[in-house]
Amino acid sequence: MSIKITLEKCIGCGSCVSVCPGSLIEVSGGKAAIYDPKRCWGCASCVKECPVQAIALYLGEDIGGLGGKLTVRQENTLLYWTVLLPSGEIKTIITDRQKSNQY
């Protein structure tokens, strides 16, 4: 499992760098980059912290994700977890930010 950073969306704020427990993300040239995707734990910390949804968690078929991509958008205390499936279908789950790590 790994993340995908969309450079066109990235604003280089560094929020992802500060929350990555594996210290795998750096900002270089004003954009975030993961320098060893194979070591990514798939914890989604960076996905949750990105204010512009430039980071997606790849949901591989081996874990039932069907090759989709997960992004998160925050509004006040709510997190909108959106999965974009390869078919184009979009699924959204809404959770409270305080409770999002309970699962």
What are the structural domains, with CATH classification, of the chain? 3-99 (3.30.70.20)
Token pair 């914890």: residue: 43
State the pLDDT at residue 84: 87
Between 31 and 43, the more confident residue is 31
pLDDT surpassing 60 at residue 82 = yes
Phi/psi region, residue 54 (left: phi>0; alpha: psi -120 to 50; beta: rest), is alpha
Which of 1, 4, 2 is CA-nearest to residue 55? 4
* Mean of pLDDT values over 49-63: 85
Task: Determine what percent of the chain is predicted with pLDDT higher than 90.
Answer: 52
> For strand 31-34 and strand 25-28, is the pairing parallel, antiparallel, or unpaired?
antiparallel
